[in-house]
């Protein structure tokens, strides 16, 4: 057993304030769907395209659909792609963050590339907030895709290598993956996207992503129904300012995108993807203590979810006001004890 002191609650307070900010920033643009939260787990994952070791790990269902192109834009209208419910799982250990992105869609793969064409294979992106104000549409918000609000970290993976192969990595000074096209990128709005190191000078640019994929129906051949498994990892801290930095007990803000090779006769288009971004950032709560439990630290009232009530309780506590708690839930600001 390990006694945890007020520092844990300080983490909870920071997380709750971050949630308050997110809620405030999304008001007024459109009817906001319920915020999505995921408790990441404490685990070490082998990145090999085999999801079996994720079986007991908590997952989140993520609705994904095509975004609406804002009025007045000169962007081309993409083909129609059906909405999907993807599954997101996240784990961390002392060194790495691990991401499992599972997509229910048929098997389309035309690789390796070259000589073949990755636009008739699936493609994906995982996006993380870097600058606190950045919006979930590649840095922009819901109402104006041309107005960047800050930088986001993009893991952008077009499937140039075969199933189970290791993707990611590349020469120093660049986020480019010259072999498998799992590029480490950043963007500030949908039209401003670069490999790390590909825009403003960035001596620390690097690509330490690792990824491996599989599809449950691949043995049946092209168009066989099933589920894509995209398994990925990266060090928690890369030292690259064009990457998100992850900390124990922190909240990672995540968005997902998926390109369906069945969008049109020539495969997917840049704009044709489904995305989680219309639902705002997904809040992924990283395990707070090395070797600790998967408790959701930001859930100050032990309700099982993080919501504005938690923010209010932390604000009341910080202001010296009384905070009512349900029976059995530690008071905000008090010590708690968890299994080691
Ligand atoms: Ca695995
Ligand atoms: Ca498809
Ligand atoms: Ca990088
Ligand atoms: Ca990056």
- Tens of pLDDT along the chain (340 residues) come to 333 333 333 333 333 333 332 332 333 334 456 899 999 999 999 999 999 999 999 999 999 999 888 777 788 889 999 999 999 999 999 999 999 999 999 999 999 999 999 999 999 999 999 999 999 999 999 888 889 999 999 999 999 999 999 999 999 999 999 999 999 999 999 999 999 999 999 999 999 999 999 999 999 999 999 999 999 999 999 999 999 999 998 999 999 999 999 999 999 999 999 999 999 999 999 998 533 343 344 566 666 565 667 667 767 776 778 888 776 666 665 534 333 3
Find the ligand nearest to 188 CA.
4
Q: How far apart are CA 130 and CA 219, in angstroms?
A: 39
CATH T-level fold of 34-297? Immunoglobulin-like (2.60.40)
Cα(307) to centroid(ligand 4), Å:
29
Question: Could you tell me the two tokens for 199?
Answer: 């825009």
Cα(238) to centroid(ligand 3), Å:
7
Cα(66) to centroid(ligand 2), Å:
14
Cα(10) to centroid(ligand 4), Å:
29
What burial letters (b/e) apply to 232-262, b meaning 16+ CB within 10 Å? Answer: bbbbbebebbbbbbbeebbbbbbbbbbbbbb
Cα(199) to centroid(ligand 4), Å:
12
C-alpha angle with apex 65: 276 to 280, nearest 5 degrees? 25
Cα(155) to centroid(ligand 4), Å:
7
- Count the neighbouring beta carbons within 10 Å of the beta carbon of residue 113: 17
User: Where in the chain do CATH 2.60.40.1190 domains reside?
Assistant: 34-297
């Amino acid at each position: 057993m390990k006694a945890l002191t007020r520092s844990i609650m300080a983490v909870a307070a920071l997380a709750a304030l971050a949630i308050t900010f997110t809620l405030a920033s999304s008001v007024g643009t459109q009817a906001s769907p319920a915020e999505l939260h995921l408790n990441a787990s404490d685990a070490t994952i082998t990145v090999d395209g085999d999801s079996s070791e994720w079986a007991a790990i908590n997952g989140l269902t993520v609705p994904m659909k095509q975004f609406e192109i804002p009025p007045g834009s000169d962007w081309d209208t993409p083909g129609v792609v059906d909405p999907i419910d993807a599954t997101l799982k996240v784990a961390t250990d002392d060194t790495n963050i691990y991401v499992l992105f599972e997509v229910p869609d048929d098997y389309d793969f035309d690789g390796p590339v070259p000589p073949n064409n990755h636009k008739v294979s699936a493609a994906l992106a995982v996006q993380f907030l870097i600058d606190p104000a950045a919006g979930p549409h590649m840095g922009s918000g819901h109402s104006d895709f041309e107005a960047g609000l800050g930088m986001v970290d993009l893991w952008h993976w077009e499937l140039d290598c075969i199933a189970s192969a290791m993707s990611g990595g590349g020469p120093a000074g660049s986020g480019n993956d010259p072999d498998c096209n799992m590029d480490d990128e950043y963007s500030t709005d949908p039209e401003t996207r670069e490999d790390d190191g590909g825009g403003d000078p960035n001596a620390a640019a690097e690509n330490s992503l690792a990824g491996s994929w599989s599809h449950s129906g691949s043995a049946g051949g092209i168009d066989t129904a099933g589920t894509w498994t995209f398994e990925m990892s990266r060090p928690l801290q890369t030292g690259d300012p064009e990457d998100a930095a992850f900390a124990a007990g922190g909240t990672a803000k995540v968005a997902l995108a998926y390109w369906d090779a069945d969008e049109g006769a020539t495969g997917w288009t840049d704009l044709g993807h489904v995305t989680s971004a219309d639902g705002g950032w997904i809040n992924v709560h990283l395990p707070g203590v090395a070797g600790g439990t998967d408790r959701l630290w930001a859930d100050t009232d032990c309700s099982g979810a993080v919501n504005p009530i938690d923010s209010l309780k932390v604000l009341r506590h910080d202001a010296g006001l009384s905070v009512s708690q349900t029976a059995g839930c530690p008071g905000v600001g008090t010590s708690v004890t968890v299994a080691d």
